């Protein structure tokens, strides 16, 4: 049996939970720890915290949020944003995260993936990929929270990251993120075919049918959601009940 | 119920979650930096993550290995989580063949990348899966067949089926989820990350 994991993704800036659209137009939503606790109590399978400005301003505010989360949340926690080296990774793990997600620093120095995998283990290392379809018809990997292009083809980069030791892909569509327009199914399908590590689909979830679509059509292992739960349009239990009714295995 | 648990202060990975889980259960924690403390404890946990050789090197270089052997000899309750379970076996093939404690006969090997139906299996196994108990042995945990959180690329293959308390199923691969030899226990899943049922499991360990 494989159960599709339902993950709540919480983007933070400073002490605040925020929500963006295509990584822009940031809105404050509330206290990230309050929201995380609610999702835990609702039965979420995992929580992702991403510090959205950390890589740009070379700082990291996640520690406090993680330490607070560790007090009352007993599901896996992934943290990302601004992790540049092994020391950063160790600090984040010791603050209460189980996995670290890297993007910008890994693209700038791919060997960081190998070093991190050797140090924290593949199972704790998530490669976060921000994908945007470009004019040449391929998906390009972006860094600094969807701001800067890299010229890298997402499919090639995902494969490289897997080879270097990443244990999971957090795949966010920059085009769909926060838009409430559904997942980028083509992108997710292709990445799932390309790699043999678990893929977390992220960006665009707005309805129950969206969830069914992405799971059944793309072979994603997990689905990360934010907008639809932050603003109370859906809740974790409803999504899980719906999944079961559509023969999608989830943890009950 | 025993009111204090000793946890080996393994510097790699997330040990804080385990500490907070026991805080939540209102059980006192003795974080062990000095291996000599091990013999004073009545409930010992090694929550290893990362690679097998690194964990063994850490235990040997810091004199934990020998103290743990003595603790096992006295048959006081031990709980190994994830890698802390795997080190109980004879050997692991992770990175390079490395001997473990050999408390449970058998080896630790990489998860197969295909199942019997030739379906590609994603590795690491990162999933919430139901555990089910081995009917041949008495299960000592009150927590029933519940969903537990797994994250691993290698898995234990004990030689003796009677050493296995529970299994899980991942894409039709039967994975040993819980082992027990006398009072020495190991779980492949992470109880500290398995929600309220995981907390119950940890509480069960304290009442053994």
Mean pLDDT of chain B: 94
Look at chain B and report how many structural domains it folds into: 1
Q: Is residue A250 part of a domain?
A: no
Look at chain A and report how many structural domains it folds into: 1
Distance CA B157, CA B135 (A): 18
Provide the pLDDT for residue A55: 64
Tens of pLDDT, residue by residue over B66-95, are 999 999 999 999 999 999 999 999 999 998
Lowest-confidence region among A240-249, B7-16, B57-66, B94-103: B7-16
Residue span of the structural domain in which B72 resides: 4-207
Tens of pLDDT, residue by residue over B187-196, are 999 999 999 9
Cβ pair B193:A98 closer than 8 A: yes
Cα of B75 vs its chain's centroid, Å: 16
A vs B: CB pairs below 8 A: 114
**What residues 67-126 of chain B have any CB closer than 8 A to a CB of chain A?**
113, 120, 122-124, 126
At residue A150, what are phi and psi to the nearest 5 degrees? -125, -15
- Unique residue bearing structure tokens 């990445």: A191
Residues of B in contact with A119 (CB under 8 A): 12, 50
Q: For residue B62, what pLDDT band results from cuts at 50, 70 and 90?
A: very high
CATH number, domain at B107?
A: 3.40.50.880
Q: Is residue A176 part of a domain?
A: yes
Contact residues for A25 (Cβ-Cβ < 8 A; gap 6+): none
Interface predicted TM-score (ipTM) of this complex, two decimals: 0.91
Residues of B in contact with A71 (CB under 8 A): 20, 23-24
Residues of B in contact with A158 (CB under 8 A): none
**What residues 159-218 of chain A have any CB closer than 8 A to a CB of chain B?**
167-168, 196-198
CATH number, domain at A100?
A: 3.20.20.70
Provide the pLDDT for residue A59: 62
Tokens of A116: 């991190």
Provide the pLDDT for residue A193: 96
Q: Is residue A37 part of a domain?
A: yes
Residue span of the structural domain in which A200 resides: 5-245
Mean pLDDT of all residues in B162-182: 96
Provide the pLDDT for residue A58: 59
Does the beta carbon of A240 lie under 8 angstroms from any beta carbon of chain B?
no
Tens of pLDDT, residue by residue over A83-103, are 999 999 998 998 999 999 999
Neighbours of A153 (CB within 10 A): 17
- Unique residue bearing structure tokens 């991403």: A50
- Unique residue bearing structure tokens 């196994």: B125
Q: Is residue A23 part of a domain?
A: yes
């Amino acid at each position: 049996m494989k159960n599709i994991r339902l993950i709540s993704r919480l983007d933070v800036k400073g002490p605040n939970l925020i929500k963006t659209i295509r990584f822009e137009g940031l809105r404050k939503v509330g206290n990230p720890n309050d929201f995380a606790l609610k999702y835990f109590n609702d039965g979420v399978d995992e929580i992702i915290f991403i510090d959205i400005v950390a890589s740009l301003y070379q700082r990291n505010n996640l520690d406090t949020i993680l330490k607070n989360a560790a007090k009352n949340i007993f599901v896996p926690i992934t943290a990302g944003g601004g992790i540049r080296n092994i020391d950063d990774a160790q600090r984040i793990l010791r603050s209460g995260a189980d996995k670290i997600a890297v993007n910008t620093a890994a693209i700038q120095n791919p060997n960081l993936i190998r070093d991190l995998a050797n140090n924290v283990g593949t199972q704790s290392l998530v490669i976060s990929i921000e994908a945007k379809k470009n004019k040449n018809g391929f998906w390009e990997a972006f860094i600094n929270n969807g701001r800067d292009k890299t010229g890298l083809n997402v499919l090639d980069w995902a494969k490289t990251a897997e080879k270097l030791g990443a244990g999971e892909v957090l795949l966010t569509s920059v085009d769909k993120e926060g838009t409430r327009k559904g997942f980028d199914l083509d992108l997710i399908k292709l990445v799932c075919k390309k790699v043999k590590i678990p893929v977390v689909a992220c960006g665009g979830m707005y309805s129950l049918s969206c969830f069914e679509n992405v799971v059944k059509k793309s072979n994603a292992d997990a689905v990360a959601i934010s907008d639809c739960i932050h603003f109370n349009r859906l809740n974790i239990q409803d999504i899980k009940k719906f999944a079961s009714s559509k023969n999608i295995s989830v943890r009950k | 119920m025993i009111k204090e648990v000793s946890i080996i202060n393994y510097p790699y990975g997330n040990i804080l979650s385990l500490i907070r889980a026991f805080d939540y259960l209102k059980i006192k924690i003795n974080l062990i930096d000095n291996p000599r403390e091990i013999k004073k404890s009545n409930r010992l946990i090694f929550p290893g993550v990362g690679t097998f050789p690194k964990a063994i090197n850490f235990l040997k270089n810091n004199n934990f290995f020998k103290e743990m052997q003595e603790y096992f000899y006295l048959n006081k309750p031990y709980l190994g989580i994830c890698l802390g379970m795997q080190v109980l076996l004879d050997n692991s093939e992770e990175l390079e063949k490395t001997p473990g404690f050999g408390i449970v006969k058998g080896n630790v090997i990489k998860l197969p990348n295909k199942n019997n139906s030739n379906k590609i299996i994603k590795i690491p196994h990162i999933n919430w899966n139901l555990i089910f108990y081995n009917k041949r042995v008495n299960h000592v945990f009150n927590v029933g067949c519940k969903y537990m959180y797994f994250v691993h690329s290698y898995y234990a293959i004990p030689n003796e089926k009677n050493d296995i308390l529970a299994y899980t199923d991942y894409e039709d691969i039967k994975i040993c989820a819980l082992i027990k030899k006398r009072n020495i226990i190991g779980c492949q899943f992470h109880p500290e990350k398995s929600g309220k049922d995981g907390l119950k499991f940890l509480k069960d360990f304290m009442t053994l």
